[in-house]
Structure 1
C-alpha cells in the first residue's frame, strides 16, 4: 500500500460537489457543533479551502458517513493531522488483537469481542470512505484495507472461539498466545475476500475445514459437532447487528454440498468431495481462496492438495460453457436482459463486474494447469497474467482493467450512501445524481454516458470469449448444466431439440453432473460425459418421445457401476453413440444388459460389426480365441458367459440396426447357443473325468429341441435339451478315485451340465435350460440311455412328443452316439401313421393349448389363432405325414420355413404356402425384435417409441395400425390353412 504520508487534509479542490444546499447547511451545522469539542476539527472548518468543501460535500452525499463522523469525531480529527495508512494499520492491528483477554477479565466474552470489532470496522470504513471520495485512495487501496480488516476480524474471532472451546472442555490449546497455531482449523477467505478485493459493504465468503488429528480436539470423533457449534458463534460475532452496528455479513455456503454438510468439514472429506464431485463453479471459487484465519500453514497445505482439482493438467475448454451458464442463470434470475443505467445491477447485470471476473476466471481454469503464472487471485493481476501469457492482447487488458476499477468505484459509492449491500443503481433521477456527484461527475447525464460505454465494452469483450460456445457444444444453442438452477438458454435448446419437458430433463442431467450416480462420481467421468452430451441430446431429440428415451438413459446411468470407460468409448466413436441412443430409445432389455455388464459394449468397436454376418464359422473362430487363455474350470465357465453375453448383444445390435433380418438373427442366436453348449459340455466332461474318471465306452449326445433344434432361437429364449448316453455293458463303474456307477455317473454329468449352463455366477447365466421334453418329462431321469430313448419313442411317446421330435437335432456329443441318435430320430419320424389319428391328435393339441393358454392380444404372435403355433403345427404335420423320410434332405439344418418349402408343395396350394411363408416371416421377424428389446409382452400404449419404430421397420408397414390390420388378416388366413391342411383325408 502506497502513499504512506497522505492525510485527509491533502485533498485537491473540486473533487466533490454537495448534494444540495439544504443538506449543505445541515451538515455545516452538525460539524460546527462537533468542532466545539475538537480543536483540530474546528481549525479545519475555520479555514476556507478544499478540505472544508470536500468534507462537507462528502457528508451531504452519504448519510452513513455523516452519522459515523458524529460518533468518531476524534478519529476524524486525528486523520486530518496524521498520515492515513499508519492510522489504518493501527486499527487493523487492534482488530486482530481484539480476542486477547483483559488481565482483569479472563476470559473475554463474545459481547466484548463483538464491540471491539464493530468499532474497528466503523473506524476503518469511515477513513477509507473519505480517502476514497477525496481521491486520496483509489479502489485498489480501499478494497485492500477493507480486506485486511476482514482478515483481522475473522482471525480474532477464531482465536477467541478456540480459547472458548478449551474453556468448555472440548479443545486443548497448545499455545495460549497463539491459539490458532497448529490447531488444524482452517478458515479460507473466498471470492473478493480471498482476492483482497472486498467492497465497501460486502459479505465475506468463508469456508471452514479442520484436521481431526491435529491434536487440539479432546475427542476427534466430536470434531464436526464441536467446530460447527463454534462456527455458528463465529457468524453471530461477525454479522449480528448491535448498537455498534455489525462487522461483516458472513456466508459459509461455499463449503462442499452446503445443503447437507456441517458448517465445518473435515479436510479428508472435503478433498474426497472435490476430487469426486467438485464442479467447475467450485473450481472457479477456489482460484481466489486464501487462508485468512486459524492454522494458516494447514490452510496452505490444503490448498496445495486441492490445486490439481482447480487447475487441470490439460486445457479445460469445457469450463467455458459451464461458467457462462452461471452468468446466464444470473441474468435469468435477476431479469437483466439489456444494458441500462437506472436500476442496473453493476455487479451481476450485463457488462458488470461479474462478467470481468468470469472473463478472467474462465481462462484461468482453462489454462491454469499448464501455466502456473495464471494462478493469481486478483482480477487485475489475472488480466495482467493472461496478457503476459498471450491469452489476451494489450488493448483488452487495458480496457477491462479500467472498466473493472470504474465499476468498483461505482459499487463503493452505492454502498457508502447508507452502508447497504446493494449493487443496483437508483431508479430516481435525484438519487442517480447523488451517485454521479460522489464519483466526481458534474451531473447524472455525464455519468450515464461514461457508464454505458464501460458496460458496453465489458459486454463486448466478455461476449467474444464465448463466441466459440456453439462450436464447442456441437448444437445450435446452449447446452450447459451447472449449479442449482436451470440455464434459460439451455432450456430453449432442449425444447428446440425435441424434448417436451425441458425443465425436467435439465434437472435430471444436472443430477449426472452433480456426481450423484456411481457412474458420474469421478471428475473424469463427468468430463467425458460432458464431451458427448451435445451429440447425445441431439440424437435423443431426433427420436419420438425423446423425454422417455432420456429417462431410460438416466435409469441406465443410475445402475452403471462406473462410467469412464463407457463414456470414453462413446466419445471416441460417434457411431456407437448413435447406437447407444437407439438402444435407450427402443430396447430397455439391451440397456439393462449394458448397465449390468458394460463390457458387452466393447465388441461394438469391431469395424466389421455391421457388415460381417455372425455365421457359425465367424462365431466359432472368436469363441476358440476367447477360450484359449482359460485355465481352470470356473474360468472357462466365466469366459463362456462373457462371450455368450457379448455375442448375443452384438447379434441384437445387428438386428436393431437392420444389418440382419429376424431369420438371420434366429440362426445366429442358435449357432451361438450350439457352440457355447458344446464347449460347456466339453468342459463338464473334463471336470467329470478329473473327479470320477472316464466311464469305459461312455458316450453322450445332446439333443436340442424346440427353437434350438429348428434354428429359431430369440434373444431371450431358453434352451430345450435331452441328454442321451451309452457305455460298455461290461463296465460296472467309472475309472477314477471317486468312481460312480453308470446311472449316477451320467445323471451327475447331466446335473453338472445344467448347473454349468444355468447357475448364476459373477458373470451371470449362460442359458436357462428346460429338459421337460425328455422321455417321461419331469418324472423321468435327467439323463436317458439311448436304448431307453428309442424304446420310449417307438412304444410310448404320444403324438405331441413326435411333433416335438420333428425339431430335434443333435447339437453336441460323441460322433458314434450322435450318428445313432440321428438315425433313431429319422426312423421314428419316418414311421407310417394313421392320417386320421395324426390329424385328430394335432387338432386336439391345438384346441387344448387354445383353452389353457389363450392369447393375450393380437400381438401374442405365438398363441393367436393362425399364429406361430399353427404354422409350426402345419410344418410338423407335414413331416409326420410324409410318405417317407427321404423326402427331407439334411434334416439337421431345417427350420420351420425350410420344412414348409420342402414338404408343403405336395399337399398345400401354392397361394396358401406363400401366405404361410409370409406370415411366418412377419411373425418371426417382429417377435425377434420384441424379444430383443423387452422382456415382457408388447403393449403398444406403453412400449418405447423406438421399439414401435423398429417393429414398423421390421414389418415394412407405414404404422402400427396398418401392421395390426395385416396381422389380423394373416392370422385369419393361416387359421383357415391350418383347418384345411391338418384334417383327416376325405
Structure 2
C-alpha cells in the first residue's frame, strides 16, 4: 500500500476496511500483498466482495481458482457443474448471475494484480461469455423441448439453435465490460415432434428470447451481459432466428458492405457447433472474394470517413476506442487488409487481430516497424480499456479527466505514475493514427497539365453546354449536345461528388481518354454512352478506374466491346471484375474449346479446399463469366459465326454443369457414403445423370439462356441406401444431389449466378421428384406424359453425369420418340398447344412481329420439326439421333417425310430468325421486329405450317 499514490491509498484503505469488517479477506500472503492495489483500481471488485458476497475471495482462494489460469474449458466445466444441479428457470438465472460475478471478480483480480497478461484476460473474458451462452442455451433447449417436443428437420434429424458471436466475442478478444453481439440461426425448417407440433421457426424464436432474457435481464443478482441482436439479417426488423437457407440468401442477395466487415469475426459460440461452422463456411464467399477485392476499397474509405465523423460528432478525444489513434483504427487497418486480400490469402482470414497483424508483417503488406508499433499500441490500448471498465464494471472507453480516476485507470493498466501513463497513451495514439493515415488517407491529386486537349476541356466543366457541344462535334460526334449533357450529368452526379481526391483524380484522367477512344468507334456516341454508364456504376470503386487509366489496351478493348454490343456493356457493368480480362487481347478474342474449358475450371477448383462448397460455387461463377465474355468478344468482333457461338456457349454450360455435379456429389458422398443398390443379385453403386432440354439440349444456347434440366438415377432393386455412417435412402441422396446442383448453379451471390435453372420439365413438373429413377422416367414417358412432353424430348440429350445412366436416358428417349402414334391425334395435340402458346405469348401490337411466338416464327418451325419426328420416328429411328432443328430438318427430308424445298425454306428462315434474335440480344433488345422485316421468311413458314398442320 505504501507504493500507491496518496489519493489511491485513501481509496484502498476505505475499501480494505469494508472488506475486513465483512470478513471477506482470506488469510493468504498472495492476497495480502495484492489486495490493496486491486481495490485501489477497482470499485467493482471491492463492492462485489464486501457488499454482495463476502465469502467470494475465500472461495476463490480455497479452491485455488484465483491463482490459476483456467484454459479454454475451465469456465465451461465449472458452470456445467452448477447448471446440472439447477431445477428451474429462477435457479438458472440465479446460478448464472452469481457465477458471472465470481468469475469476473477472479478475472479482474488476476489482471489488476499482474498475475494475468492481456491475452489471458481477453480470452478468459470471452470464454466465460461463450460458456454462459452455450450452457444456458443447452439448459433452456432441454426445458423447452420437454414442453413442445424436439424440433426436427424434413428428414427427421433433430435441430439445434446456432448462436454466432460477432465482433470481439467471435475473435476471443472480448473486453471486460462489453455488449455481446449475437446472431441466431438454425439449420432447416420443420416442426417439433410434440403432441402439439410447433414450427421450428416458432421454437427457435422462443428459445432465442429465453436465452436473451437469461443473459440480460436485471435481477437482484445483477445482469450477466447486455445482448445486442442488431447485426442479424435485416437488424431489428428481421426475425430473431432464421434457417440457414434464409441467412445465406440474405447475405447473397442483400448483404451490405458493412456486413462483410462485421462477419469477419463471426464464430459459433453456442448450440450446434458443427452446424455453426458449416454456416460460417457457407458465408465465407460473402466476406472474402477470390480476387483482389476492388469493391472493398470503396468501403474502406467510407469507414474511414465514418470514424472521423463519429469522433467529431461525439467530441470523444479521450475515447480510446473510437478516438484518433484508438483501438478501432488498429482493428480497421487489420480488417481492411483482410477484406481486400483475404480471398487470395487464407492466412489473412484469422478472427484474431494479433494473428492478422503478424500475417500482414510476414507478407510485407506494411513495413515491419509499422506493424510492431500497431501491435504494441493495440496491447497498450486494450489494457487501458480493460482498466477503465474494471473500475466499475461499466461499458466505457474513455479515460477519465478527473485526476484521481485517471490515476486509478493508470494503476489498473499497470502504471503507478499517471503522468507517465498519459504521456505514453498520447504517444501510442499518435503513432497509431499516423499508420492509419498512411494506409487510408486520401491521396492528393497531382497537378494537372495545362493541355489544350478538347476532350479534357469538355470534361473539366470550364465550358458551357454549347461550347462543349462544339468541341465534341469537332471531335466527330454527330449529336454533341446530348453527349455534353450526359457528361455534365456524370460530372455533377452524386457518385462523382462522393469520390475521394484520388478517385476524382483518376476519373478526371480517365474520361478524356474514353472520349478520345470512342471517336474511333463505329458508333462513337453509342460507344461513349455505354462506357460512361459503366464508369458511373463503378466510379467509386476507384481501382477499376486506375486499371483503365494505367492500361490503354484494356480501355481500347472496353470501347470496342461496348461499341459492338449493349449486352456486353451491361455484362461488364454488372461484373466489373471482368475488366481484368481486357488486359490481354490475345486471349480475350479466343474462346476456349471443350478440353481447355475443362482444364481452366479444374485449375480454379484445385485451389479450393474440397469441403469449401461456397468457394467452389464462386469459382464456377467466375469461370462462366470470364469465358462467356471471351465468347461475346469473339462474337462482337466477327471472329465467331452464330452457330459456333452457340456451340461455345453450350460447351461452357456443359462443363460448368458437369463439374457442379462432381462437386456436389463429392460433398454428399463425404457426408453419407456412396449410393448403393442390389440389382440382379449384384451390389453396385447407383449412377446419376442430367438431361438437358430446350436450348441446351438443342445446342442453341444464347447469352442469357436458362438451363432446362431433368435429373435421373439408376438405383433399383434391394437395399437402396448409402454406405456411410450417416446412411440415407438413395432417393433422398439423389434428391439432395439434384437440389445441390440447382443451388450451386442458381443461387444469387454478390458475384452473380452461374445459370438460371428450370426443372419444370421433370416428370409431373413441380409436383414431381427432383431426381427420378430411370425406370420411373421410362414408365412416365410411356404411360403418363403429355404430347408436349414428348415434343420436349425431341430436343433433349444427356449432358452430364455417369456414362451408364446417360446411355440409358438416350435409349429411353429413342424408345419413346419411336412409339407409334395416330397422325391425326398427334397433329391436333401439337396444333392446339401451338395455338394456346400464340394466344398467351404472341405479340399484341399491330405492325410488330415476335420472332419467337407469332405465327410464322421460330416456334412454328420447332413445332413442325417436333411433329415430324414424333410422327415418323416409328418408321425412321434415325430421327432420334440428333436434337437440333437444322439436322432434324435434313433427316426428315432423307426419311421422305418433308419436301426438300420446304426443309430448305424452314432451315433458311430458322437461321435468319436465330441470327436476328441473337443480334437483338446483343443489343439488349426484345426479339420483336417491325412486321415488314423478314416478310418472305414469315410467309413461307406460315404457308408450310398451314399445309402440314391445318391441312
TM-score, structure 1 normalization: 0.47
- Greater gyration radius: 1
User: TM-score normalized by structure 2?
Assistant: 0.49
